[in-house]
Amino acid sequence: MTSEFNQRLHNESLGASTDDKLANEQRIKGGDSEQESRSDGQSRDQIVIGSSPSLPSTSHVIPAFAGPGELANSDLRSRMGDAIHAWLLRSPSLQTRDCYTRDLQSFFRYADIPRDCPDHLVNIRPTHVAAYRDHLREKGLGNAAIVRKLTVLRSLFSYLTTYGYTGANPAHSKFVDAPKVSRDGKTVGLSPADCRRILEAPDLTTPAGVRDRAILTVLAYSACRVGELSRLKVKDYREHAGHKILEVQGKGGKERRIPLHAEAFECIETWLDSAGLREDLTGPLFRGTLSARGKGRDGFVRSHLSRRAVQALVKTYVRLLGLDSAVTVHSFRVTALTTARERGADIIDIQDFAGHSDPRTTLAYIRSRDRLSKSPAYVIRY
Q: What is the pLDDT of residues 268-285, one digit of tens each?
A: 999 999 999 999 999 999
CATH of range 192-371; options 3.20.20.110, 3.90.1150.10, 1.10.10.10, 1.10.443.10: 1.10.443.10
Q: Report how far apart, in Å, the C-alpha atoms of 27 and of each of 23, 114, 176, 240, 294 are.
A: 12, 15, 22, 62, 62
Using 50, 70 and 90 to split pLDDT, how confident is the model at 67? very low
Residue type, 34: E
- pLDDT score at 94: 81
Percentage of the chain surpassing pLDDT 70?
77
Using 50, 70 and 90 to split pLDDT, how confident is the model at 357? confident
- pLDDT score at 372: 61
pLDDT value at 42 more than 60: no
| Interacting residues of 268 by C-beta distance below 8 A, sequence separation 6+ | 214, 217, 218, 237, 260, 285
CA 350 to chain centre: 21
- Please state the domain extents for the chain: 4-163, 192-371
Look at residue 312 and give its three-state secondary structure.
Answer: helix
- pLDDT score at 144: 85
Using 50, 70 and 90 to split pLDDT, how confident is the model at 163? confident
- Higher-scoring residue by pLDDT: 51, 282: 282
How many angstroms separate the CA atoms of 108 and 101, rounded?
10
Q: What is the DSSP letter of 178?
A: P
In sequence order, the β-bridge partners of residue 240 are: 243
pLDDT value at 20 more than 70: no
The mean per-residue pLDDT over the stretch 210-228 comes to 95
Beta sheet of 237-240, edge-to-edge order: 237-240, 243-249, 255-259
Q: Does the reported pTM lie above 0.75?
A: no
- pLDDT score at 25: 34
The answer to whether the CB of 214 falls within 8 A of the CB of 267 is yes
The mean per-residue pLDDT over the stretch 276-299 comes to 94
The torsion defined by the Cα of 372, 376, 377 and 379, in degrees rounded to 10, comes to 120
Instruction: List strand residue ranges (DSSP E) for 216-341, in order.
Output: 237-240, 243-249, 255-259, 287-289, 300-304
- pLDDT score at 43: 36
Determine whether 202 is exposed, middle or buried from the number of CB atoms within 10 Å of its CB (0-12, 13-18, 19+): buried
